[in-house]
Structures are given as structure tokens and as C-alpha cells.
Structure 1
Amino acid sequence: MSGSIEVVNPATGEPIATYEGWSPDRIETAVERAHAASRTWALVPVPERAARAARLARTLREHKDRLAPLVVAEMGKPVGEAEGEVEKSAVTADYYARHGAGILADERVEVDGAEAWVAYEPAGLVLAVMPWNFPVWQVMRFAIPSLVAGNGVLLKHAPNVTGSALAVQDLFVEAGFPDHLVTALVVAEPDVPETTARLIEDDRIAAVTLTGSNRAGAAVGSAAGRAAKKSVLELGGSDAFVVLDDADIEAAAAAAVKARFTNSGQSCVCAKRFIVDASVADAFTSAFVVGVQALRAGDPRERDTQVGPLARDDLRAAIQRQVDESVVAGARLLTGGKPLPGAGYFYQPTVLADTGPGMPAFDEETFGPLAAVAVAHGDEEAVRLANAGAYGLGLSVWTADAGRGIALARRITSGAAFINAVVASDPRLPFGGTKRSGYGRELAAAGVREFTNTRTYWVGT
């Protein structure tokens, strides 16, 4: 057991770092230290924990110029978006620094003949299995509220962003959190399933959270269930972007480009299925394609780059399969549809028209720069197509009548519904999915309480 991890720059295809995977003995030592640190941290008063979050926000901003280039190098994110990821993490730290103590305060309950209240107490050491597509933000949006809640964090990050994982770990220490309270494990890819399963079974692990694929989520969720431990799963997404017949088409098309191609399309909350009313389908599609063709794909270190490479070559191959099979099934290729020439894992921003259920571009999660346009003949069919997918993470509806948009959104299953806006996560609002997009919530009050023991106190008088 234990091998090496080679991190490759996806913009060049060249190796940039090699890490030795940890042995079981080293992992055991790390777990023991993290468990001890979490037990001590649980005794720290909530206002002091929140104050550390404020220091973390400052530390994140101070190290933006170091963290962002590391994200660019390891997973190919355009540099402006990488800097935005760090800033969003800092904003989240600020939010919990201000509101964490209030969210976690005891809640008094009026009971005749007794004094009663509900307390939110630390769960313990939480295992976090995190993905590569937002190497800093994905960790921070879970870790910050969990730490303010009094828990410890055992981080199993994606191997291809090992450098980012270790940098994040060091950042918490620099911000004043105790040593080992946030511990990044270095696990070679072949060892990940066995190591993760063993950790979930470990009595020192109180709960587990995963952001990743449905296959990984099924494995982690079932292991947590067997161990009777709390789990939160944020899985895939194939968000519908619904354009109704009264929408501002130019605004909707411009937003659609942003919604689909942020992070080079490698996001669970990227809009992926564009369901457009037949009366405006031609106008929307034309404007959308023009916007897509104007995107600049290239070196993610350059500030005018809007679409970088895919993080791995196998991901690019998956997008090509989805395009090819969808075209065979009847979809029309409007732009893109093949890898960009040269080094790195670049793929042309791509739009398919005439898609629908039964095509990979519509049914599957497309994790890259591929958009699927489907035509709906009226609101009823728009609802049916939006609900036809297996996922239920986000939803965006575009209409001149907000009330109509809300009414339609209530008929579509998702964890979030945005009207005339692009789906996004915000520390002030809960984030999570339904159906095959997972369960549980991150961010806001729900996120800080997810990994607490909601404890009832009753004192007879």
C-alpha cells in the first residue's frame, strides 16, 4: 500500500510535482493527532472559534497571490477565477466570524414546569472527501462552519490537487487554528477506496462529507450508513436553465454563456441543459452561440483567458464521447465539438441543439465546456424536460414575470431555484441538492449545524 502521486499541469500535460502516498501507519498517526486536537477544540468557546475565522479571512487574502497560481497550475482554472475562489472563501470566513456565535447559541423553549433549551454541540472529527474542481473553496465552504461549530477536519482531497490540500492545511495553522485540527491526508489514487472506507468505520471519525461523483457518493454514503454516522453528499448536477417565451433573450443568452462555461464548465452548479420555449428558441440559440464562439480559450495564467483546459485528459475523452453519441442520437452540433490542437487538455466550447432525453448530453452530467439546448413547446413541456434528469441541484428560470418564474420553479425539483439569475452558492443561503445530486446542506445556518449534536436540555423546576 502507498504509492506516488504525480500532479500534472493540465495546460501543458507536463508533471509539476510528485508526492509520496502515506502508509497506513502514517495515516493512523495523523488520525490520532487530529482526533486529540478536535477534542480540545470542542472545549474552546464559540466566540473564540469565530474570531479565528476572522483571522482566516485575513490570511486568505494575504496569500491570494500564492494560492491562486497553485490552483491554476494544478487544475487549470483561469487565474481571475482562481483569485475569485480565494476571495469567496474569505467572504465565507467573514460571514461565520460575524454570525457563527449567534447561529450556535442555545435556543430557549417555553415548557411548563421546566427550563428547557436546545444546544448545538460539536460532533467531533469529520472526514471530508473533496474534489479537484474548486481546490480551495470546496474545502473552505465545509471546513469553516465545521470548525466554528467546534469540530476537527480530516481532509482527503483529490490527488491531482495535493499541493493545494497541503497549502490549505498550512493556511489554517497560520490563521491561528491549532496544529492537526485540519489535517490533509496524502493518499495515492489506488488506495483511496480502502482508506476512505477504513476511516469511516473508525470510531474516532464522527461523520463524513463528500463532494464528488455519484459513484463515490454511493460508496461513502453506504459506508456511513453501515457505521450509523451522519453524512452529507454533494454530488453531480445537470442544472436546467429554462428560458420562457417572455424572457429578455439577449440577457438570458449572455447569462447562459457565463452559467455554462465558468470554470471551463467543470462545476456541479454550471447550467448544462438549456430548455428554451419554441417561440424564442432560434433567437436565444443564435445569441448563445455567438457568445460561446467569442469565448477565449487558452493559457489559464493569462488574464484574458475565459476557458482553460479540462483538469485531466480522461475528462476530455468523456466530453468527446458525450458529444459523439449525442450527435449519433440526433443532436445537431452548432459549434465546437473537438479538442483544441496543441499541448494540454483543451476542448472547444461546444453547443449541441435538438437534444433531449435519451442523449448523453441531456441525461448525463457533462463536466466540461459542453452545452445542450432543448426546445419546449410551452411551460408544461419545459417543466417535464427540466424534471426529466436524474439530478436536482440548481435551477435557473428566465422570464419577464417573476411570479410566473417562481410558480414554474415550484414544479421542478431542485435544491435551489434562481429567477433571472445564474445559480451560485452564497454563505448566507443553504446549498445542496435533491435526487441524485445528494442530500444535506452546506453554508448558512444549516451548514454550521449539519455536523453538530442537536441536544435537548430539560431542567425540572
Structure 2
Amino acid sequence: MSTTTKQNTFKTINPATGKEITSHTYMTDDQVKESIQQSHKAFLKWKMKSIEERGEIIKSIGKELQNYKKELAELMTDEMGKLLSQSEHEVDLCSSICEYSADNAPEFLKNEKRDLPSGGKGIITYSPIGIIYGIQPWNYPSYQVLRYTIVNLMAGNSILLKHASNVTGTAKLLKTIFDTAGLPAGLFNVMVIEHEQSNAIIEHKLVRGVTLTGSPVAGEKIGEKAGAQLKKTVLELGSNDAYLVLEDADIDLAVEKSVMGRIYNNGETCIAAKRFIATEKVYDEFKEKFVKAMDALKVGDPKKEETELGPMAREDLREKIHDQVQESVDKGAEILCGGKIPNGEGYFYPATVLGNVSPGQPAYDDELFGPVASLIKAKDDEDAMRIANDSRFGLGGGIFSKNIEKATELAEKHFDTGMVFINSFGLAEPSMPFGGVKDSGYGREHGGFGMKEFVNVKSIMIMD
């Protein structure tokens, strides 16, 4: 890592107004090196703490998040444009992750004893390995951080965070919250850095694991760089999740949940409902009600209580999704509502529904990271399942059906995704594993699984 003498700065922008919030300064290479050393020294002490001792501090973080709830929620909304009510819910989710992890870590990480076939005894331990480097996106500025940080702290590791630059303020505020809660210095360091510096962190011998939430393209690059260093990775990548409206679905429920599943977090969610596949029998009714509901959504200031859809997080993201809409239309799709960039300040984009969606269009093949829904007609339930799996992605998906037994069987045996939601839409649950397959990545977070992703599963064999 070369020494950087010049410190570059960058600005954060409020997407609802297009105006500057503040500016931040990138770290020097020497500061990065110092942070890594500090993180390793903190780890050497932290790993010797009992799980119960770690849990007390983790619970304190959960409580401190509530003390900072108003400030943190407003900052997240200012930096990335999500509805203020959803920012508040995000803080609550972060606190619940702290509580769940602290309560359940003693069971998840306890030693296992086994009798050896050759005689003697075996002990399996889950030992911390060191510094875990997380590269996180902007769409859930607090939750994405807490999701990997808390379980790894509980496991005894230390954390480096490279957050998306447009939510740098949130990253720094989280550091303040962790410090205020009593987390020992060095265990959670925010790295305000550029790409070359990030690559050097991945290569550093003291960094033992890398986790990324981002696009498949980013996943390929980070996976390759970490793999070249023989370092474990967890990659939570994008998706174009399909939601099936089967022949026996409650259409009004399907419409209600589908709208929320598409526009929650302004539609900027990896596990958002994106492709809506309705069977021929119910297609027309679902289409009419779904388009009407999407078209009626109130777009505006994310801090106003009546607003249902806020702005896109950045101007370039709005341009990208509009280009995807236009390309889909050029290749045969039909705009059923929305699809036009509005005049005025901020990076707003209307709730949009595309019909006549077919393979070869971005609306069918790719991830639409914003409030744009793809509507697809299937012949029957079997055809709907086929279309759902006709994707290079496999993060989540949904099924609307009154026959829970049938829907559950489809989810278990046929849906090629990491998560399936029946008569609902995708939101994280700390007690359930989170992650995908295919181009949506690998590894799991939540549900105890994330706590064991970056540990040394150690075998100790004792012969009597």
C-alpha cells in the first residue's frame, strides 16, 4: 500500500432535493494501515472475552440505537431518500438483531462433543478468526452494517466497514453509537476509502474474511480478489425476484402485498418483488387492480407522513432504471403506468408497471433497482413456476395462494431461491437465514448461520 499524502474529499447529496448535505475526506494510506493494526490488537483481546461478556455489550448497542433513533432515522432518509417511517423501522430491526444475536449466541457457538468411532472423545469449537472486512451498499444504511457486524462481533471477530460513499454520515454515526454503547476501541472501524485502498485491505494478511452486499458484477470482482488471497467470502448480490399469483390466490391480498413488495424502500431492495407472474385465469383481474394501485401512489418528500414513495438514491440510478425501461419498451414491453422522469428537483421516479414482458428485455432478464414492476402472464401454475426459475438470479421469491400446503411444497421442492415468502413479501427476520443462490451469491446471514460464516470450525480429538 503506497502512502497517500493528498486527501481527496467528496460530497453527500440529499436525493429529495439534489442539494449537498456535507463533505467528507478520504483516509490516507497510513491511516488505513493504522486502523488495520488497531483492529487486530482489539481482536486479540476481544476473542478472549466470554460469549456472555460480548453479549452484554451487543445488547448495549441495541439500546443505544434506540437512544439515537430519531437522529439516525432522519440522517438515513436525508442521505438515501427512504421514507422516514421505514428508516425508523430499520433502526428497530437493528436493535432486534442485537437482542437476538446476544440471546442466541451461547447456543449457536457452544462446543459440540462427539464420541470417536476409534475410541476417545471429540470436541468441535467455533473459534473467531480475526478481522472481517465488510463492503456495504447504501440502500439499508444501518441494517446492512448491523447484519454482518453484530454476528461477527458475537463470534469474537473485529470489523472493518467500507460503506457506500453516499451514506458516509450514517456509517460515522453508527461508529459513534457503538462507541457510546461501550464497544472497545478498534473493534468497529469505519474506512472512508477509495477502491485501490479497499483492494489493499482485501490483500492485507491480517484481514481474514470479506463480505459484500452489492451487484453481481461487484461480487465477481471482490470474490476474485479475495479468492486470490485464499480468503473466505460471503456475497449477497442482486436479484429479480418473482412473485407468483396462482389460480387460487386472494387477488386483493396479492395486489396489496405486491405493491408494498415492489415499492418498499423506494423499490431499491435486493430482495424486492420485481417480476409478477400471474396465471391466465387471474391475470386480467390482477393486472387491473395492480396497475391502478401502483398508479395511485403518492410520490414526494420522504419525511412527510402521507408520502408512499420517495426519490431514487442517486441521479445516476434514476437514469439507469429509466434506460432499462426504455430498452424494454424498444424490445416489445408496454408501459401500463409511470415510466416518465418528472420535472422538478430531486431524483424522483414514478411507480411504473411494464406489460408484455418477455425474455431479452431488461424487465425480464435483469434487476430493476427501483419502483418498476414487470408483469408477466403464465398459462397455469406450473408455467408460472417455470418462468420464475427462468432467471440467472436466485435470492428470493413469493407465492400467493389460498392453498398453503401446495404453496409450501412449491417453495420447498421447486423454487430455486434462497428465500420464499408465501402470501407476503420479503423483509428480513433475524431468526431466519438470509441469502441466495446462482448469481445472487452465496453464504448466509441471520438465523445463526451468519454467526458461523467467519469462524474456524476446529476439531479437537482426545484419545483416552
Give me the TM-score of the superposition, normalised by structure 1. 0.97
**After TM superposition, where is structure 1 displaced by more than 6 Å over at least 4 residues in a row?**
none
Deviation string for 1:228-284 (max 9, x for gaps)? 110000000110001101100010011000100000000001000001101101100
Amino acid of the structure 1 residue aligned with 2:163? H
Matching residue of 1:295: 297
Deviation string for 1:398-444 (max 9, x for gaps)? 11111221232321210011222212211101100100000000011
Deviation, structure 1 residue 307: 0.8
Q: Is the 8 A contact 1:276 1:382 kept in 2?
A: yes
Matching residue of 2:87: 82
Deviation, structure 1 residue 5: 1.6
Separation of aligned partners in 2, 1:122 and 1:171: 24
User: 1:280 is matched with which residue: 260, 279, 282?
Assistant: 282
Does 2:433 match 1:430?
yes
Residues 382-393 of structure 1 aligned to structure 2 (within 5 Å): 382-393=384-395
Q: Is the 8 A contact 1:331 1:353 kept in 2?
A: yes
Does 2:125 match 1:119?
yes
Does 2:248 match 1:243?
no
Amino acid of the structure 2 residue aligned with 1:117? I
Matching residue of 2:145: 139
Does 2:401 match 1:399?
yes
Matching residue of 1:98: 103
Could you say what secondary structure the match of 2:253 adopts?
helix
Does 2:451 match 1:448?
yes
Separation of aligned partners in 1, 2:341 and 2:21: 23
Deviation, structure 1 residue 303: 1.9
Matching residue of 1:165: 171
Separation of aligned partners in 2, 1:283 and 1:5: 49
Does 2:40 match 1:40?
no
Q: Which stretch shifts more, 63-72 or 284-293?
A: 284-293
Separation of aligned partners in 1, 2:363 and 2:427: 22
User: 1:256 is matched with which residue: 238, 258, 277?
Assistant: 258
Separation of aligned partners in 2, 1:344 and 1:224: 37
Could you say what secondary structure the match of 1:154 adopts?
strand
Amino acid of the structure 2 residue aligned with 1:120? Y
Deviation, structure 1 residue 36: 1.1
Aligned Cα RMSD in Å? 1.0
Amino acid of the structure 1 residue aligned with 2:446? L
Separation of aligned partners in 2, 1:294 and 1:107: 56
Matching residue of 1:184: 190
Separation of aligned partners in 1, 2:21 and 2:427: 31
Separation of aligned partners in 2, 1:288 and 1:349: 11
Residues 313-332 of structure 1 aligned to structure 2 (within 5 Å): 313-332=315-334
Deviation string for 1:126-146 (max 9, x for gaps)? 000000000000000110111
User: 2:417 is matched with which residue: 405, 414, 422?
Assistant: 414
Does 2:372 match 1:366?
no
Separation of aligned partners in 2, 1:130 and 1:175: 22
Does 2:220 match 1:214?
no
Q: How many residues align?
A: 457
User: 1:349 is matched with which residue: 331, 348, 351?
Assistant: 351
Separation of aligned partners in 2, 1:356 and 1:253: 21
Give me the TM-score of the superposition, normalised by structure 2. 0.97
Q: Is the 8 A contact 1:33 1:180 kept in 2?
A: yes
Amino acid of the structure 1 residue aligned with 2:21? I
Amino acid of the structure 2 residue aligned with 1:160? N
Separation of aligned partners in 2, 1:340 and 1:67: 29
Deviation, structure 1 residue 347: 0.4
Matching residue of 2:31: 26
Amino acid of the structure 2 residue aligned with 1:146? N
Could you say what secondary structure the match of 1:381 adopts?
helix
Matching residue of 2:234: 232
Deviation string for 1:178-228 (max 9, x for gaps)? 0121000111xxx31x22221111101010000011111111101111111
Separation of aligned partners in 2, 1:37 and 1:303: 43
- Aligned-pair identity (%): 39
Q: Is the 8 A contact 1:357 1:388 kept in 2?
A: no
Matching residue of 1:338: 340
Q: Which stretch shifts more, 28-37 or 402-411?
A: 402-411
Could you say what secondary structure the match of 1:98 adopts?
helix
Does 2:22 match 1:17?
yes
Deviation, structure 1 residue 458: 1.0
Separation of aligned partners in 2, 1:341 and 1:333: 19
Q: Which stretch shifts more, 82-91 or 1-10?
A: 1-10
Could you say what secondary structure the match of 2:428 adopts?
coil
Structure 1 residue ranges without an equivalent (≥5): none
Q: Which stretch shifts more, 318-327 or 131-140?
A: 318-327
Separation of aligned partners in 2, 1:63 and 1:195: 31
Does 2:276 match 1:270?
no
Separation of aligned partners in 1, 2:348 and 2:456: 46
Deviation, structure 1 residue 327: 1.1
Could you say what secondary structure the match of 1:367 adopts?
coil
Structure 2 residue ranges without an equivalent (≥5): none
Separation of aligned partners in 1, 2:364 and 2:44: 47
Separation of aligned partners in 1, 2:410 and 2:47: 44
User: 2:72 is matched with which residue: 54, 67, 78?
Assistant: 67
Separation of aligned partners in 2, 1:14 and 1:81: 22
Separation of aligned partners in 2, 1:171 and 1:108: 38
Deviation, structure 1 residue 358: 1.0
Q: Is the 8 A contact 1:76 1:311 kept in 2?
A: yes
Separation of aligned partners in 2, 1:35 and 1:219: 25
Could you say what secondary structure the match of 2:167 adopts?
helix
Could you say what secondary structure the match of 2:160 adopts?
strand
Deviation, structure 1 residue 76: 0.6
